[in-house]
Chain A
Amino acid sequence: MQFITLDKTTGSSLWEVLAAVCTMLTPGLAPDGLVRWLPAKGWPLSDVLLPAAPVKAFLLPQNEVVWGNASDAATLRPTALIGVTLCDLAAVAVLDRVFAADSGWQRRRHNLFLVGMPCAGDADCFCSSWSKLPACDLYVDQNRRLWLVSPRAIALYTKAGFPGERDERGPVLPLGKQTAATGALFEQPLPQPEALAAAAARCLGCGVCTAVCPTCQCFDLREAIGDDNVVQRLRVWDSCQFAEHGRVAGDNFRPQQVDRLRFRLEHKLHGFGPERGEVTCVGCGRCARACPSGLGLHSLLAPDAGGRS
């Protein structure tokens, strides 16, 4: 794999190469106290922060017109996200497979340049150890090496006169947060029915866990009337934690909150459809941070192993 060392002489030049074709964003503390993607002026010098919203917000808009008017997205200037954590990179890889045939996702994905970086983690996150680098365009490792990962990144920097050096070992990846103390969380069985029922009794069904989850993809399709009275079809984020999610004419396949909680856990631990058998939780801990009842996935799987409860 090719890399370029980020030092005082090359750093700004390497930045300019990317900034010439992309709008540059990096996680930062916004005035509202949340970590958001904010305009970036240079490579982050320290560990990156985990934004409150996952990268999926760039790729699967909360409200999207999927039919009914022409889209101008194809003309959008590409965006580079500088400092995407490994867990968020892994989450994009999960959803890349789900939306492989979705033209809207693919178009936005083509316009998004992902620059990965290690993070220090926090009290809520619980990623596995990283044995391989999830798909991204560039990766800045702990040794200040800028790794050229994707063909388009290699092409961009080679054309700009930065072919880089080669190191087949690839970047040094950080250790995950799952340790001997927490155990292999993703290999845990689903909680016993009594434990799940107790958790469901505390769950408000608000769906915030699914909104912030980087691999939750549920959406609804709704009819709307747009500008100029044009009929539109919208793709709108939905949540499997809502009672309506499992409703069908005259019935509901997930009538109780405990059914819906189990459904979410099944998706995170066992995957659905083509991802069946794969863990789709990436351990970012956003659900723990966001849940008003302290029902992060970590605490559901291993209530005694730490994390909020």
Chain B
Amino acid sequence: MTATFQPLPATLTAIETVHEAVRVFTFEHNQPMTVAPGQFAEILLPGIGSFPVSACGYVTAGSFQACIKQVGRVTTALFRSAIGDRIDLRGPFGHGFPLADLDGRDLLLIAGGLGIAPIRALLQAVQGRPVRSITLLYGVRRADDLLFLPELKALAASSCLRLLLAVEEPLVGSLPPLWCNGTITDLLDELPAVLDNTAVAVCGPPQMYAALLERLAESGIAAERIFANLERRMRCGVGQCGHCVAGGRYVCTEGPVFNLVQLRQMPGAIA
């Protein structure tokens, strides 16, 4: 028996469908385990398989919330689960977004696709912290792919958040306010000219990082305040199994959140 791999029994307590293939699952357990924004946990379906996933909500100890897309065998099994089912967890793993470093900053959140999940957790976490302002740039391929839109719009309406949306697939008719046709990088033109007090948190598909991160640095944001959450096939979570290594670093233990100074020293870490 290897204690590192001992799972934590949890119960599936809520399922919310937020897209035809995406649901938010809430798990509850009786341990003081909290998955901070940017950290991840492993969801295990006994006898079926497991996968790593980051927290999509900032919740109290004893609870874990994850936004999951149905893509394969194990996620399909999870989608067939019912409230009350036993699901195991392992974690939390890795380093999340450095909340204290964001205090007093103009916070720029950037999410691509399902990358909104950990960004949503971060957005919830900073609500109670002294950040100076929050802007969210959120890009998806199709308008239907936008997740958590009602709650994001509600935050924007209450002036807690400046929300800008980018949709790659052309929209029919006139564009609603906040929207643009294009990608995340097209939204960068909407940012203020002076960004020297800005801190950035990014999560999205790997191909998004290469173009985006250096452009953010060129716009005047300090590289040590540009944080990106790397997606990798994290298996053990404890820096042993070798799967998630990028640029010589274990993403599971040294990340998954890295700043741009670190990423520049990790060849191959971002596409």
Nearest opposing residue in chain A for B238, CB measure: A101
Q: Which bracket fits the contact residues of B? A: 35 or more
Nearest opposing residue in chain B for A259, CB measure: B268
C-alpha spacing A238/B242, complex, angstroms: 9
Q: Does A96 contact B (CB under 8 A)?
A: no
Contact with B along A66-102 (1 / 0, CB 8 A): 1101110000000000000000000000000011011
Q: A218-B241, A220-B241, A248-B233 are in contact. Are A253 and B246 (CB under 8 A)?
A: yes
Q: A223-B47, A247-B233, A253-B232 are in contact. Are A276 and B240 (CB under 8 A)?
A: no
Q: Are A223 and B71 in contact (CB under 8 A)?
A: no
Q: A218-B243, A251-B206 are in contact. Are A67 and B7 (CB under 8 A)?
A: yes
Q: Are A246 and B241 in contact (CB under 8 A)?
A: no
Contact with A along B231-271 (1 / 0, CB 8 A): 11101101111110110111001100000000000001000
**Min CB gap A240→B, angstroms:** 6
Interface of A is mostly: mixed
Residues in B neighbouring A253, C-beta threshold 8 A: 206, 232-233, 246, 268
Q: Does A250 contact B (CB under 8 A)?
A: yes
Q: Does A219 contact B (CB under 8 A)?
A: yes
Number of chain A residues whose Cβ lies closer than 8 Å to a Cβ of chain B: 44
Q: Are A233 and B5 in contact (CB under 8 A)?
A: yes
Partner-binding segment picked from A47-55, A266-274, A290-298: A266-274
Most chain B CB inside 10 Å of its own CB: which residue of A65, A249, A253: A253
Q: Are A231 and B46 in contact (CB under 8 A)?
A: yes
Nearest opposing residue in chain B for A247, CB measure: B233
Residues in B neighbouring A251, C-beta threshold 8 A: 205-206, 231
Residues in B neighbouring A104, C-beta threshold 8 A: 1-2
Q: Are B241 and A238 in contact (CB under 8 A)?
A: yes
Contact with A along B26-64 (1 / 0, CB 8 A): 000000000000000000111111110000000000000
Q: Are A221 and B241 in contact (CB under 8 A)?
A: yes
Q: Does A305 contact B (CB under 8 A)?
A: no
Residues in B neighbouring A220, C-beta threshold 8 A: 235, 241, 243
Residues in B neighbouring A272, C-beta threshold 8 A: 242, 245, 248-250
Nearest opposing residue in chain B for A218, CB measure: B242
Nearest opposing residue in chain B for A74, CB measure: B1
Q: Are B236 and A276 in contact (CB under 8 A)?
A: no
Query: Quick one: which of B48, B232, B238, B240 contacts A223, CB cutoff 8 A?
Result: B48
Q: Does B81 contact A (CB under 8 A)?
A: no
C-alpha spacing A223/B236, complex, angstroms: 13
New A-B pairs, 14, CB < 8 Å, besides A246-B243, A248-B232: A66-B1, A67-B7, A70-B1, A99-B240, A102-B4, A103-B3, A104-B2, A220-B243, A221-B236, A223-B50, A235-B2, A245-B233, A273-B249, A276-B249
27 contacts between A and B (CB under 8 A): A66-B5, A67-B2, A67-B6, A69-B1, A101-B238, A103-B1, A217-B240, A218-B243, A220-B241, A221-B241, A222-B49, A225-B47, A231-B46, A238-B241, A245-B233, A245-B243, A248-B232, A249-B72, A250-B71, A253-B233, A253-B246, A266-B248, A270-B248, A271-B248, A272-B242, A273-B239, A273-B254
